[in-house]
A and B are shown apart, each in its own frame.
Chain A
Amino acid sequence: MSDNIIELSGVAKRFVKGKDTISIFDHLDFTVPRGDFVALMGPSGSGKTTLLNLLGAIDRPTAGEIRIQGQRIDSLSEGELARWRGTHIGFIFQFYNLMPMLTAAQNVELPLLLTRLDSRARRRNVETALKIVELADRANHTPREMSGGQQQRTAIARAIVSDPPLLLCDEPTGDLDRDTANEILSVLQLLNRDLGKTIVMVTHDPEAAKFASRVLHLDKGRFAERTTAP
């Protein structure tokens, strides 16, 4: 198996709106090695979210191949993709996207309902995930009772609880102040360094990008790479 966790070759993505066809990528080749922490930057509308959607298999390419851990995901069925996402991908969104009626612990437990773990094992995994994001004391709080930073920590715990190898973050600090953003980014860094998670993070914030091990600029369907100092 290749050492690249993500391999895109010749990926095209076009949206058809009536008579118009918007082409986001024409022929994108892109690889990410296992254990990398990539910051993805670029102007609004350049296709960053679209790319993350393709990587997380919640959207399909118009053409080309996408391999994650060596497996072609662009040809899986909807049902197979759902199962695949549950075990391979952790999504982290700008607006946290927690279930408002569930506590932090229940939100984190949600992906585990898709596994065969019994309730004791699930509880243990939830505790571990909440400990990693330093939110064990908020386990029984609902999103309404938590700050933005705490909600994002909960979302991160939810993303890692089923131990996926790849985390996809779309502007995870876009709605947070500087200090809170840095805390969240430190958590991501820790997940990358200590737990070996591969992370692709979309951001508009150059400060945030500094936490990554390299920065990719997406513009007009092409990449331009700049590596930050470690």
Chain B
Amino acid sequence: MNDFTLIRKNLTRRRLRAGLLIFSIFIAFLIFGMLGAVRHVFSGENIKIADDRLVTVNKINFTQSLPVAYVERIRAVPGVRAVSYANWFGGYYQDPKNQLFTFAVEPESWLATHPELQIDDAARKDWLGRRDGLLVGEAAALKWGWKIGDRVPLSSNIYSQKSNGSHSWDFTIIGLYTVADPNVSTNAVLFNHAYFDESVSFGRDTIGLVVLTVDNPAMNEQVGRAIDAMFANSPAETATDTAKAFNKAFAAQFGDIAMIVTLVVGAAFITILMIVGNTMVMAIRERTREIGVMKSLGFPARRILLLVLGESLLLSFAGGIPGIAVATVSVGLLGHALGDFVQGLTMTPGILATALALMTGLGFCTGILPAWKAMRLDIVTALGRS
């Protein structure tokens, strides 16, 4: 027997009570872990994007279009190295719920502004040569079981064809792209803007966004300001920001999910804190006499304090560790299932570290008051009148 035996036996002397407390802490950390991972996704912190890339969109908001002529004017801004542009196609495959990250892009310049996309020479040749060519990210191809050479119809929930009013366009998969960095997603589907532009029923000669790289990331702000100044007071004013910031803003359209998650988790923890804290106070009060006996045996006050604190910490970790472990596994499975769409849904070391800190904090906060009382307890009073 050692102090840990004592702590463990003290904690489990009322099995139902301990079980319920551990379960509620388990749930709290399960929620914390899962929502923490979700929050991480929507915070945009997970997205790996080159530092020297800027995105120019309509100042009103990014669903408004820009004249295609802006591309050449932006190319002329000092410090701009390469420029490309894209339209968000709003594409889906077969069924509207099979949403895809589909962009109509200018092929050559898109590759120039996105050097992280790796494609082989054959694919590059077809991609630049074939109007209906579809360049598919590795993850997307895997998900839909696509191979090079497949004919794939993609539908748009925005655009239709001017010839027949159909929302569907036919494509041929000419290649897959990969990336070296596992944190970069390969779930996009890209096709030739010219093919789109010539067949679309409305919105010709307009683009959704301009992507550009600059000579030096230090010039980001300067270049961005120069671009926006150039189109100030025109019918389509622009807003230029880093691609990183743009992605963050894109994520924010889902509402301030990070804030909501923080509030939910915060409320859960305050509740748990009060329930566990109150139960610990009651549990230790029930043991007043025993604590008096231990002191009479010669247990010093500090050791009594540590025994009680150890108990609340053990309680917290007994619920918290399994909670965060199950959250990690669940997030891993979910991340796998949603891989294409929710990029970066994984348990991060930051979330785990925060969880451990929270467990320690919870254990400490719920234990310190009863531990302090137990430490200060007067033996004669504790042993009571018999």
Q: A residues bordering B, Cβ < 8 Å?
A: 53, 56, 58-59, 78-79, 82-87, 89, 91, 93-95, 97, 99-102, 106, 109-111, 113-114, 119, 122, 158, 170-171
Contact with A along B295-329 (1 / 0, CB 8 A): 11111110000000000000000000000000000
Question: Considering the chains assembled together, what is the distance between the CA atoms of A94 and B297 in angstroms?
Answer: 16
| B380 and A82 within 8 A (CB) | no
Given contacts A97-B290, A101-B13, contact A106 B295 (CB under 8 A): no
For the complex, what is the distance from the CA of A171 to the CA of B295, rounded to whole Å? 20
Residues in B274-296 with C-beta less than 8 Å from chain A: 289-290, 293-296
Residues of B at the A interface (CB closer than 8 Å) are 1-3, 5-6, 9-10, 12-13, 289-290, 293-301, 379-380, 383, 386
Name the contact of A113 in the complex, choosing from B2, B9, B290, B380 (C-beta under 8 A). B2
Please state if A82 and B298 are interface contacts (CB–CB under 8 Å). Answer: yes
- Contacts A99-B293, A110-B297, A114-B299 supplied; 8 other A-B pairs, CB < 8 Å: A58-B296, A59-B380, A78-B301, A84-B298, A97-B289, A97-B383, A99-B290, A101-B10
Please name all residues of chain A whose beta carbon is closer than 8 Å to the beta carbon of B380 when the two chains form the complex: 53, 58-59
Contact check, B298 vs A83: say whether CB atoms are below 8 A apart: yes
How far apart are the CA atoms of A84 and B1 in the complex, in Å?
22
Given contacts A97-B290, A99-B290, contact A114 B297 (CB under 8 A): yes
User: B297 near A111 (CB under 8 angstroms)?
Assistant: yes
Q: Which of A59, A97, A119 lies in contact with B293, CB distance below 8 A?
A: A97
Q: Is the CB of B295 within 8 A of A58?
A: yes
B300 CB to nearest A CB, Å: 4
Q: Which residues of A contact B386 (CB under 8 A)?
A: 93-95, 170-171
The distance from the CB of A108 to the nearest CB of chain B, in whole angstroms, is: 10
Say how far A39's CB is from chain B's closest CB, in angstroms. 18
Q: With A58-B295, A59-B380, A114-B299 as given contacts, are A100 and B13 in contact (CB-CB < 8 Å)?
A: yes
Name the contact of B297 in the complex, choosing from A85, A119, A122 (C-beta under 8 A): A85
Contacts of B294 in A (CB 8 A): 110
Instruction: Determine the chain B residues whose CB is within 8 A of the CB of A113 once the complex forms.
Output: 1-3, 6, 299
Interface of B is mostly: helix
Q: Which residues of A contact B297 (CB under 8 A)?
A: 85-86, 91, 110-111, 114, 158
Do residues B300 and A87 form an inter-chain contact, with CB atoms below 8 A? no
- Minimum distance in angstroms from A36 CB to a CB of chain B: 22
- Which residues does chain B contribute within 8 Å of A95, judged by CB atoms? 386
* A58-B379, A58-B380, A97-B290 given; A114·B296 CB < 8 A: no
A53 to chain B, nearest CB (A): 5
Interface pair B301/A82, CB less than 8 Å apart: yes
A-B contact pairs, 6 of them (CB 8 A): A82-B298, A86-B297, A87-B298, A99-B293, A101-B10, A111-B297
Q: Are A85 and B298 in contact (CB under 8 A)?
A: yes
Contacts of B296 in A (CB 8 A): 56, 58, 85, 89, 91
Closest partner residue, chain B, to A78 (CB atom):
B301
Q: Which of chain A's residues have a CB closer than 8 A to the CB of B9?
A: 99, 101-102
Name the residue on A nearest B293 (C-beta). Answer: A97
Contacts of B2 in A (CB 8 A): 113, 119
Q: How far is the CA of A101 from the CA of B294 in the complex (A)?
A: 14
Which residues of chain B have C-beta atoms less than 8 A from A171's C-beta? 386
A6 to B45, CA, bound (A): 73
> What distance in Å separates the Cβ of A30 from its nearest Cβ neighbour in chain B?
19
- The CB with the most chain A CB atoms within 10 A, among B5, B9, B12, B293, is that of B293
Verify A93–B3 contact, CB threshold 8 A.
no
- CB A87 to nearest CB in B, in angstroms, measures 7
Measured CA separation A83–B297 after assembly (Å): 9
Q: A58-B380, A59-B380, A101-B13 are in contact. Are A109 and B301 (CB under 8 A)?
A: no
How far, in angstroms, from A7 to B23 measured CA to CA in the complex? 56
Contact A82 B1 (CB under 8 A): no
Flag if B298 contacts A106 (CB, 8 Å): no
A56 to B383, CA, bound (A): 13
Residues of A within 8 A of B289 (CB): 97
Chain B min CB distance to A203 (Å): 13
Known A58-B295, A97-B289, A110-B294; contact A79-B300, beta-carbon cutoff 8 A? yes
Give chain A nearest CB distance to B249 CB in angstroms: 57
CA distance A159 to B319 in the complex (A): 37
For residue B18, give the distance in angstroms from its CB to the closest CB of chain A.
Answer: 11
- Residues of B within 8 Å of A89, CB to CB, are 296
Most buried by A among B1, B289, B298: B298
CB pair B299–A82 under 8 Å, yes or no, is: yes
CB distance from B10 to the nearest CB of A (A): 7
> Which residues on B sit within 8 Å (CB–CB) of A93?
293, 383, 386
C-alpha spacing A229/B105, complex, angstroms: 113
Would you give the shortest CB distance from B127 to chain A, in whole angstroms?
72
**What is the bound-complex CA distance between A119 and B1, given in angstroms?**
8
What's the minimum C-beta distance from A207 to chain B, rounded to whole angstroms?
20
By a CB distance below 8 angstroms, the chain B residues around A78 are 301
Q: What's the Cα separation between A222 and B7 when bound, in Å?
A: 45
Q: In the complex the two chains form, what is the Cα distance from A111 to B295 in whole Å?
A: 10
Q: Bound state CA distance, A72 and B342, in angstroms? A: 74
Residue of B2, B3, B383 contacting most chain A CB atoms (<10 Å) = B383
CB neighbours of A82 from chain B (8 A) = 295, 298-301
Q: Are A111 and B298 within 8 A (Cβ)?
A: yes
B379 touches A83 (CB 8 A): no
Residues of A contacting B295 with CB < 8 Å? Answer: 58, 82
CA distance A94 to B5 in the complex (A): 27
- Bound form: Cα–Cα A224–B300 in Å: 37
